[in-house]
Amino acid sequence: MALAFDPSTLWLLALLLVVTGLGAGLLAGLLGVGGGIVMVPVLELALPYAGFPREWCMHVAVATSLAAIVPTSISSSRAHHRRGGIDWDIVRGWAPGIILGGLVGSLLASRASDEVLTGVFGAVAALISLKMFLPLDHLRLAERVPKGLAGKLIATVIGGVSSMMGVGGGTLSVPAMTLTGGAIHQAVGTAAFFGLLLSVPGTVGYLLASPGVALPGATVGLVSLLVLTLVAPLSMLTAPAGARLAHSLDKRTLSKIFGGFLSLVALRMLFRTFA
């Protein structure tokens, strides 16, 4: 199927993609979220202008967002590593679960309905924003981040749900680590690396998906290669700036920024689900 751009809205689509790429990279470095928290809702709005069927826009947005997280996470992780912001002990304990969850989540999402994906995205974003936005810095469910079997189970859930949402893992792993004794700056840096671990197998799952309909945008499986080539380079460009900004902000400010963005995204996705 050829691209079905409406010439009168082509400029709007291009503008949305540029802003999405730049904003996603900045937030990837700032919050360790891989940029998906920006990419998914914006792409879901923009893809109809590229001729995508409405019922597949959320699927393609999630899949393409996760694919874009691969290079963005590399850029963000390198920036955090240079500042000692990645806890490699936690990475070693959680890596198998993150990778497995990323693959399973993409396989489940490719078979889910549009309403299921928006509902999962909105509900999870709302719950996490509540924790990050409220003054709950001293709330702890454990003294230290679990690294044994419990850690692997937590990581698998994080990888699976994050893959279904098209986000880089920080949406869930940052709160999970801070609730179990992790410092916010270390959690953000570690989450940036988790984004790489889950986005690679997750993207493979989405590339192998069979939507059963012809999709525009040089789409392979559910990943739009055209959108990916426009958004990914821009997000890589701004990810290091976000990482630098993260290490210059105090913990409370960083948590409020995270919670604020998640609240906006949650409202949009829940409205999309039930409207």
| DSSP track, 203-266 | HHHHHT---SS--TTTEETTEEHHHHHHHHHHHHHHHHHHHHHHTTS-HHHHHHHHHHHHHHHH
Comparing C-alpha atoms, which of 134, 113, 105 is closest to residue 200?
105
Summarised one tens digit per residue, pLDDT across range 90-119 is: 888 899 999 999 999 999 999 998 889 989
Residue 150 predicted with pLDDT over 80: yes
Q: Would you give the distance in Å from CA 190 to the centre of its chain?
A: 14
Q: Is residue 34 part of a domain?
A: yes
Q: Is residue 117 part of a domain?
A: yes
Total domains in the fold of the chain:
1
Say what the pTM is. Answer: 0.80
Q: Is residue 140 part of a domain?
A: yes
Q: Is residue 1 part of a domain?
A: no
Q: Would you give the distance in Å from CA 73 to the centre of its chain?
A: 10
Tell me the three state secondary structure of residue 139. coil
Question: Who's near 144: CB < 8 A, 6+ residues apart?
Answer: 180, 181
Output the pLDDT for position 136. Answer: 61
Residue 214 predicted with pLDDT over 60: yes
Summarised one tens digit per residue, pLDDT across range 230-264 is: 888 887 788 788 878 777 777 667 767 777 877 88
For residue 144, give the H/E element and its range: none
Q: Is residue 2 part of a domain?
A: no
Tokens of 174: 């940052």
Q: Is residue 142 part of a domain?
A: yes
Question: Residue range 138-157: average pLDDT?
Answer: 79
**Cα torsion through 98, 99, 101, 107, rounded to 10:** 150
Residue 8 predicted with pLDDT over 70: no
The DSSP string of 2-66 is -----GGGHHHHHHHHHHHHHHHHHHHHHHSSTTHHHHHHHHHHHGGGGT--HHHHHHHHHHHHH
Q: Report how far residue 164's alpha carbon sits from residue 46's, in angstroms, rounded to the nearest whole number.
A: 19
- Highest mean pLDDT among 18-27, 221-230, 243-252 belongs to 221-230
Q: Is residue 147 part of a domain?
A: yes
Output the pLDDT for position 211. Answer: 87
218 confidence band (pLDDT: 50, 70, 90): confident
Q: What is the overall mean pLDDT for the chain?
A: 81
Comparing C-alpha atoms, which of 121, 133, 131 is closest to residue 271?
121
Question: Residue range 130-139: average pLDDT?
Answer: 67
Output the pLDDT for position 56. Answer: 92
Q: Judge contact between 16 and 5, C-beta under 8 A.
A: no
Q: Is residue 33 part of a domain?
A: yes
Comparing C-alpha atoms, which of 29, 150, 172 is closest to residue 105?
172
Question: Residue range 4-27: average pLDDT?
Answer: 72
Output the pLDDT for position 202. Answer: 92
Q: What is the domain range of residue 167?
A: 7-274
Q: Report how far residue 207's alpha carbon sits from residue 134's, in angstroms, rounded to the nearest whole number.
A: 38
Cα separation of the two ends of the chain: 30
Summarised one tens digit per residue, pLDDT across range 60-70 is: 999 998 998 88
